[in-house]
């Protein structure tokens, strides 16, 4: 039986780097955002149902994220319809991954884990965190969004303090080495627990 560790944290907290550190420790890693990209790509299983619900979102046989953004800007209510199509498909993708995984620990990188109520399906949850100024600097350095867009995303996410309070483990990503040490400690704790289960 594979141990399911939910990995979450707000934008710019270092989830991708932390997921990579878990992979280095021999954990199987599944990324919810990457799953959505696969589903939206040409030939992806979300393309057909999305094309029926949102024909304007399709471009070159794939779901266009910029077009979806435009649709959501005009009709915020469309989000619930998109989620009703995509969330079950993402769940199927995760189940397929878990059945094929050969590691003892599966790290499931789900940015909106608490917001979507997904923590109940996990054996434990790890929250990735960083000081607010570090978080802001990381996001704005990417050059992919404005300060206003960053604030809008933050407003939709559960506050960092609440995520930390509801998590079993916390990893502070103030430096790569410190993050690595904490990941190794979490993996050791889980493997010790599995040995005595």
- Residue 156 pLDDT exceeds 90: no
CA 163-69-78 angle, to 5 degrees, is 80
Distance CA 160, CA 22 (A): 21
Q: How confident is the model at residue 130 (pLDDT cuts 50, 70, 90)?
A: very high
Residue 197: what pLDDT?
Answer: 78
Superfamily for domain range 1-27+106-189: P-loop containing nucleotide triphosphate hydrolases (3.40.50.300)
Residue 144: what pLDDT?
Answer: 85
Instruction: Name the strand (E) or helix (H) holding 140.
Output: helix 132-141
Superfamily for domain range 33-102: P-loop containing nucleotide triphosphate hydrolases (3.40.50.300)
State pLDDT tens for residues 103-123: 999 999 998 899 889 999 999
> Where are the CATH 3.40.50.300 domain residues in the chain?
1-27+106-189, 33-102
């Amino acid at each position: 039986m594979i141990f399911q560790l939910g990995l979450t944290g707000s934008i710019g907290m270092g989830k991708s780097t932390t997921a990579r550190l878990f992979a280095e420790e021999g954990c199987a890693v599944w990324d919810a955002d990457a799953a959505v990209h696969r589903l939206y790509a040409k030939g992806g299983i979300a393309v057909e149902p999305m094309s029926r619900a949102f024909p304007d979102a399709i471009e070159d046989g794939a779901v266009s994220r910029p077009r979806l953004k435009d649709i959501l800007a005009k009709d915020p209510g469309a989000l619930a319809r998109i989620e009703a199509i995509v969330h079950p498909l993402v769940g199927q993708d995760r189940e397929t991954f878990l059945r094929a995984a050969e590691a003892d620990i599966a790290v499931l990188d789900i940015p909106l884990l608490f917001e979507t109520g997904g923590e109940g399906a996990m054996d434990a949850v790890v929250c990735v965190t960083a000081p607010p100024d570090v978080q802001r600097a990381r996001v704005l350095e990417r050059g992919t969004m404005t300060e206003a867009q960053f604030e809008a995303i933050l407003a939709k996410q559960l506050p960092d303090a609440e995520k930390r309070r509801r998590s079993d483990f916390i990893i502070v990503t103030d430096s790569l080495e410190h993050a690595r040490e904490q990941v190794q400690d979490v993996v050791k704790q889980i493997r010790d627990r599995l040995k005595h289960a």
